[in-house]
Structure 1
Amino acid sequence: MVHWYESSIDRQLREAAERGEFENLKGAGKPLPDAGKDYDEDWWVKDWAAREGATAGVVPPTLAVRREVEDLDEKVGRLRTETEVRDYVGELNERIRKARVGLMDGPPVVLPPLDADSVVAGWRERRR
């Protein structure tokens, strides 16, 4: 005797197909978008931008914060005083905090706050 198990998801899909909910779907019979292309790590950002009608160069605020942290040395390298560096790190830490608690649009951010003393030490070292 063969016992057949159907998960709840399989059951929901089967029932929807029986009701005809998958008939006449937009794109039926057409190739999948990007089929045959190389994998792009940023596919989801590009998809988001296309869906939201964002213009080129516009990224969600949480991604902008992540990019800013990546470019930190370059940004603080253009600052002239230690006070400017500390102020910048304070402002960036506030944006990181907002991104971490979900007060900004975009994908989740798990960046730790920056240590102003370490950033200042690096800034001094690079200025020598």
Structure 2
Amino acid sequence: MAERPRYESPVERAIREAQERGEFDDLPGAGKPLRLEGTDDPMWWVRQLAEREQIDFTGALPPAVALRKEAATFPESLLDLRTEESVRAVLEDFNRRVKRDRLRPLEPRMPQLLAPTVDVDDLVERWRALRASSQPVDVDPPVTSGEARPRRRWWRRRR
């Protein structure tokens, strides 16, 4: 009895043709065992995907958790700011966002997560101390009036 032709879906046909062309030969990881540690965690594949693809899921965090993570970076994350006023503005904006988050309605069957506000004055003091410790020390003494002044550039002399 003649064998009936078997139905081949377009996906199966594309895979078979790619195998015949040798596109699956010499792939990285071929012949190596799969990494299956930690598979008792129901989200293990998501964690491995995020690690492998270097995906940042901080945008998917609940707002209170994201605010807590942001607060954990203070005052080191503020070192790029130059003035105390800008540091205070960032910290006051953070406290405003925390207070706004507290006004959100509760999610049903979820515990209420609260992010704490930060002490602006304390963090400004810590920012000052960190900034002072990270400033390079000036090794050249300042020029006094009795010493020769450095020459001014010609474009600075023209007015």
Provide the TM-score with structure 1 as the length reference: 0.51
Superposed counterparts of 1:98-117, under 5 Å: 98-102=100-104, 108-117=112-121
Superposed counterparts of 1:31-46, under 5 Å: 37=39
Task: Specify the alignment match of 1:8 in structure 2.
Answer: none
Counterpart CA distance in 2 for 1:114 and 1:104 is 23
The answer to whether residue 104 in structure 2 is matched with residue 87 in structure 1 is: no
**Secondary structure at the residue paired with 2:75?**
helix
The answer to whether residue 102 in structure 2 is matched with residue 125 in structure 1 is: no
How far off is 1:37 after superposition? 2.8
Counterpart code for 1:79: L
Change (3 A) 1:103 1:94: farther
Task: Specify the alignment match of 1:75 in structure 2.
Answer: 77
Change (3 A) 1:107 1:98: farther
Higher helix share: 1
How far off is 1:124 after superposition? 0.5
**Secondary structure at the residue paired with 2:67?**
helix
How far off is 1:102 after superposition? 2.3
**Percent of aligned positions with the same letter in both sequences?**
30
Change (3 A) 1:83 1:104: farther
Counterpart CA distance in 1 for 2:118 and 2:92 is 8
Relative contact order, higher structure (CA 8 A, sep 6+):
1
The answer to whether residue 99 in structure 2 is matched with residue 97 in structure 1 is: yes
Change (3 A) 1:125 1:100: same
Gaps of 5+ in 1: 1-35, 47-54
Counterpart CA distance in 2 for 1:66 and 1:101 is 16
Counterpart CA distance in 2 for 1:93 and 1:74 is 17
8 A Cα contact 1:100 1:108, kept in partner: no
How far off is 1:39 after superposition? 5.2
Gaps of 5+ in 2: 1-37, 47-54, 133-159
When Rg is computed on C-alpha atoms for both structures, the one with the higher figure is 2
How far off is 1:74 after superposition? 2.3
Task: Specify the alignment match of 2:60 in structure 1.
Answer: 59
How far off is 1:104 after superposition? 9.2
How far off is 1:115 after superposition? 1.2
